[in-house]
Chain A
Amino acid sequence: MRSYLALLSFVLMGVSASGQQLVSGSFSATPFPEFVNAMQASSMYRFHYDPSVMDTVKVTVSGTHQLIKYFLDEVVTGTDFRYTIDSNKVYFTLNVKIMTELAPGIFGEATPKDDNRERNLFDEEQTRRQQSDGRIYPIGKRTANMEGNAAVSGYVKDISSGEVLVGASVYRENPLIGVTADQYGYFLITLPRGRQTLIVQSLGMKTIHRQVLVYGDGRMDFEMEQEITPLKAVVVESERDQRVSGLQMGSERLDVRSVKQMPLALGEADILKAVTTLPGVQTVGEGTVGFNVRGGSSNQNLILYNDATIYNPSHLFGFFSTFNADVLKSAELNKSSITADYGGRLSSVLDITSREGNQKKFSVSGGISPVTGRLVVEGPIVKDKTSFLVGVRSTYSDWILKQLDQKRFSNSTAGFYDVNLSLHHTIDEKNSLNLSAYMSHDNFRLNSDTLYNYGDQNASLRWKHLFNNKLTGVLTGSVSKYAFSINSNSNPVNAFNLDFTIQQVNTKADFSYVLNAKHVLQGGIGSIYYKLRPGNYQPAGDQSLVVPDVMPDEQGRESSIYVGDQFEINPQLSLYAGLRYSFYQYLGPHDMYVYAQGAPKETGNIVDTVHFNAGKSIAHYGGLEPRISLRYFTSPQSSFKLGYTVTRQYIQMLSNTTAITPVDLWKLTDTYFQPQVGTQYSLGYYHNSKRKPIEFSIEVYYKQMKNLIDYKNAATFLLNRHVETDILHANGMAYGIELMIKKSVGRLNGWMNYTYSRSLLQSTGEYSDEIINSGKWYPSMFDKPHAFNLLGNYKFNRRISFSTNLTYSTGRPITLPVGIYDLQGSQRPLYSERNEYRIPDYFRIDISFNFEGNHKIRKLAHGSWTLGVYNLTGRKNAYSVYYTADGGTIKGYKLSVFAQPIPTLTYNFRF
């Protein structure tokens, strides 16, 4: 810093006789970025370089009234670096020199497009430069009237695959106007007429700066390049993040490419594991996919895969998620300001989008880890119009079980697979179709003769239509099904099959209309029809005496309508106001038990059974769900946000086990199960450092929840025709503060967050067994006050990188014995109040090294190796602590899942 300040006074600007700028300056072992800052400050030259490569270069040169070439020659002498000067731009490259003479005809094209020429480094550089060159792109019909605003829309795509880039930022500065591309890569921005620079950014892609001259409404597509090319031009100071400028609060987008850098368990990149490193997101135990967002239970998360609901996102007891990272594009988690187009779950929306396949060429990629093999095939069916993607992943060994406690799982087998298919078709400029199909399946036999099978299946079809430049509509239809079965045949007399199925059919229409520069309106309607078969118990084999027991089907319909307005009050202040109305009906045919008035809901108090015919509404609920968020810029780099979100949920999972199990039941809201209602207030402050690519945010929230499900002691749900007798309706309260620091670019990048949060329940029923802990507030299962996550990546060079992940959290609450007594020949524990104690704190470090193959673009196959160690310190983190009678005596135990460091080696390929 000292040398930087000192040299500023020496740098003078002049003009040479030939009209070229002359520069003065004195540098001694000055870091390259400081050299660049000094040069840019004192001249018209702008530098473009890869910070991860150039940051370590030290510059020693001095001169007075010299051409810039004089300084640059000194910088590159004796190194592999080359520089290129093109008018006032300076490009630094490694080994390669950029040709500044352009191929003829380049500038003759109206919009930059990939023209199928054989691509090489020169072409890619050229495309990039073309997108940030001095050329001005006109938009709309040429007119003399340059007053007012115009709507500009288009798609943001990956230039190499043709796939759309979800969540890309399209914006201009001074005044700042920005939008984000939707899940189709489509954006619509209202700009003042006239000349301006549009900046397009997307994670892992090179930033585009494009000069546009807006005459009127029009279209402008952007094709972005990946940062895999040897060197790139990252304009650090303009890196702008959604967190500051976006209207929504508590929203996190994870790009699958960054997920793949994280060190994760068992050699698999796992998007859900990545989600759990975000502030406000926690898991109950190790090896569970079920996650808790801001003190909500895991079934309060709406998990969407290409707009179709996923019921169980976990493979193999939760050690893997059911999402094959190779087919995914991104995941977005909304934990506080949920816009009005989403509904049905209380806590969060996790919207996972798959890639739609390479539109330009066929490619095959895959990988092999100790547990699974993966393969993805994708390519164009009709080039630039129709593409497909098929992904398959499957286990090939029981390796994972052998890693667990050997005796406990010695007679166990387990396996899973998942299949993804997507088809994308561009009908014309105004219409596009996306078809997605997904299936996951698991089977396991845990040290017994009982076989478990479960899996999700879903499909969705989305039709996007641009009515005109201002109005777009998306029609979505989807079906989702989750089923599990339990088969036991060890004892022929008791052999049985037990099946559970839940299905839903969704239809919805969503519209977005740009009213004017200040208002973007959204609206839509939707309907979900649920059908449950809550238990079908059948004999297996001839000798079985099992009586078939078929639990009556359940039906329900959830309808919704919503409107929303994104209102830019002034350049500093923006408001999103949305209102959703949801209406739910529990439908016949069904027999409902009637319980005696003024008596507890117990089987002994059933006084009548009422039959409802098919389609008859047995119970109905409805309500408004206002969604409001407000953003205020305190400076171009920082903003305040306020949020108010009401959500309602009409379906719940019944689980009184520690983690989500695959055989937990779902239950529709009915006469006795009331819909859950959540209200969240949140406040956030976001700041991006002006000079450094560092983002800081702080969010606080307070949440009230009604009609949460808690359980009477010893509740059971399987084949229980009167589940209402085993549950409690509890009030919930959650609050917390989340701090996050993120550095998204550079040689060292990553994030760090700390969360203080509480999640509490209160059960004050009418009858003694409905009152938990004498009606006091008590911690929920996932109340873990302190949580800290650190995720870091460091690039040694272009081929070797290092990642680490550090996680700490308070142990989850648990009910432990506070005394013992003797009964029936054995000591028995006398339990404390519910969740009065905690298991030991959780702490884990993971590391991984990535070794990339060489970066020759024309190479046939790209391979990479990942060597990872999960739980590096081998800490025996408690999954649970329990006291159990063993040979008549109560003993305390701690169960750990991954109690030792687990090294894994994964090979990934792509060709």
Chain B
Amino acid sequence: MWLLAVGGCVEPYQANINSSELNTLVVDGFYNTTDGTVTVNLSRSRPIGDKTPRPETGATMFIEEEGGKSIKIFEAAAGVYSAVGIKLAPDKRCRIRMVARSREYYSDFVTIQPTPVIDTVMWKPLTDGVGVVVSTHGPGTTGYYRWTYEETWRYRSYFQSYWIFKNHVPVYRTQDEQIWECYTTLPSTKIAVASTTQLAENRINEYELVFIPKDSRKISSRYSILVRQMAITPEAYEYWKQLQKTTENLGGLFDPLPGQITGNIHGKTNPGEVVVGYFSASGVTQQRIFFDFNDLPQYLKSSGFDGNCQESDMQPLTLVYTLEGAYNITSAIYAGETIVGYHYSTFGCTDCRLEGGTLTKPLWWK
């Protein structure tokens, strides 16, 4: 009698926070030694709930070799400072230095990390979904790695709409007018770092980057992921790990107490000023994989639809005009060779774009 389903819960909550205009400078900088690009995103913090990013424009930015040259980096877009063709001595440390709103800031000098190639990126069937795992190995016994990734997936609306209204009459859709198959691309939003400090070899075995629940639309048709790997310094590892702990993994019973993680950027004009963010420099190696819905084991095959899609019939033909602007026609109803009416369904069940994707197939898609 006590086996009642009772218990704990997690619910959205808005604390009464005195969210203020702190205007903390945020620096996200990376020197990619593989292609010689430097990209520094400069922005300012904003109050909670404010959705508009605040790029920091008009700053002057340099990348500097320790005891060596200083190269100016220009603002390519609002708050994005980037340069190409940068070649710094790989055995020297480098840093970025900037002046924003008349205050000078600089990063610690960081060593340039050579990045080993990715051994494999694989997808793995798990009990209730699919995991994407990465494996790599490097020289020596200790390695620190960070990955970013970009997921792209093809998905299809529940029904294919073969007809489109033109001049208030249904006509057969051309190839360009199809709205059935879409693609969505999302960059990683999660921090993925790992180290081999506790292993005998510098080897990462099947580190799980992404978990896709089995009913996710991501794996309802075809899925691809591009994984980029960067070797990082122990200090960078510590920074990303802490940032991950205090900004992504909260919500357990034994959580660490959150606190501000600052990184390796410092104020020169005002040494006490809080600056968040990190600058690092390394090579980048990458690998892309694809897999298909049909590759999945049977127990993971799920359309990802919630089962609310239905087709209805509209007859006689004189009433078909009422569908325009309200529904999409999926297919025609024939009596012999003659169309006597149409099947139709909601936009949501026929137009894949309403789920957020685009109809454009990426050039690299295969």
Interface residues of A (CB under 8 A from B): 285, 287, 317, 370, 399, 402-406, 408, 491-494, 496, 537, 545-547, 549, 656-659, 661, 711, 713-714, 719, 768, 781, 815-826, 828-832, 834, 837, 876, 878-885, 887-888, 890-905
Contacts and interface: CB of A to CB of B under 8 A. Distances in A.
Contacts of B247: 826, 828-829, 884-885, 890
Given A545-B205, A817-B48, A896-B9, 15 more contacts: A491-B206, A492-B205, A547-B200, A657-B254, A815-B257, A817-B17, A823-B28, A823-B276, A824-B191, A825-B148, A828-B247, A831-B246, A831-B259, A895-B9, A905-B2
B257 A656 contact: yes
Contact of A891 (B12, B201, B203, B272): B12
B257 A892 contact: no
Given A545-B200, A714-B246, A821-B276, A659 B11 contact: no
Contacts, number: 223
Contacts of A879: 8, 253
Contacts of B259: 713-714, 815, 831, 834
A893 B11 contact: yes
Contact of B255 (A399, A496, A880, A898): A880
Nearest to B141: A547
Given A546-B200, A549-B198, A821 B257 contact: no
B203 A713 contact: no
Interface string B253-269: 11111111100000000
Interface string B235-253: 0001000110111111101
B10 A658 contact: no
B250 A882 contact: yes
Given A830-B45, A834-B259, A882-B250, A892 B198 contact: no
B7 A816 contact: no
Looking at A403, A406, A895, the one whose CB has the most chain B CB atoms below 10 A away is A895
Contacts of B11: 876, 893-894, 896
Given A545-B200, A824-B28, A819 B22 contact: yes
A891 B1 CA distance: 37
A404 B252 CA distance: 12
B142 to A, nearest CB: 10
A658 B248 contact: no
A893 B19 contact: no
Contacts of B1: 905
Interface string B17-35: 1111010101010000000
Contact of A884 (B5, B251, B272, B276): B251
B40 to A, nearest CB: 12
A816 B17 contact: yes
Interface in B112-134: none
Interface stretch (B85-93, B182-190, B302-310): B182-190
A657 B251 CA distance: 12
B270 to A, nearest CB: 13
B364 interface: no
B325 interface: no
Interface of B: 1-15, 17-20, 22, 24, 26, 28, 41, 43-48, 50, 53, 141, 148, 187-191, 198-201, 203, 205-206, 238, 242-243, 245-251, 253-261, 272, 276-277
B189 A825 contact: yes
Given A882-B258, A884-B250, A370 B191 contact: no
Contacts of A884: 247-251
Contact of B2 (A823, A826, A880, A903): A903
Leading 9 A-B pairs by shortest Cβ distance: A713-B259, A894-B13, A493-B205, A714-B242, A888-B189, A882-B250, A826-B189, A403-B7, A821-B45
Contact of A896 (B8, B141, B199): B8
Contacts of A903: 2, 4, 6
12 contacts: A370-B2, A545-B205, A549-B198, A658-B257, A713-B242, A819-B48, A821-B43, A830-B24, A892-B15, A896-B9, A902-B7, A903-B2
Contact of A904 (B2, B14, B26, B256): B2
Contact of B148 (A545, A818, A824, A893): A824
Nearest to A407: B10
Contacts of A876: 9, 11
Nearest to A818: B19
Looking at B28, B47, B246, B258, the one whose CB has the most chain A CB atoms below 10 A away is B258
B17 A818 contact: yes
A127 to B, nearest CB: 42
A822 B2 contact: no
A885 B48 contact: no
A657 B200 CA distance: 30
A714 B26 contact: no
A657 B9 contact: no
A406 B7 CA distance: 8
A493 B203 contact: yes
A358 to B, nearest CB: 32
A154 B140 CA distance: 74
A12 B259 CA distance: 78
A910 B47 CA distance: 62
Contacts of B190: 826, 885
B141 to A, nearest CB: 8
Nearest to B47: A819
B317 to A, nearest CB: 45
A781 B256 CA distance: 12
A819 B24 contact: yes
A493 to B, nearest CB: 4
Contact of B257 (A496, A781, A902): A781
A892 B11 CA distance: 9
Contacts of B12: 891-894
B194 to A, nearest CB: 9
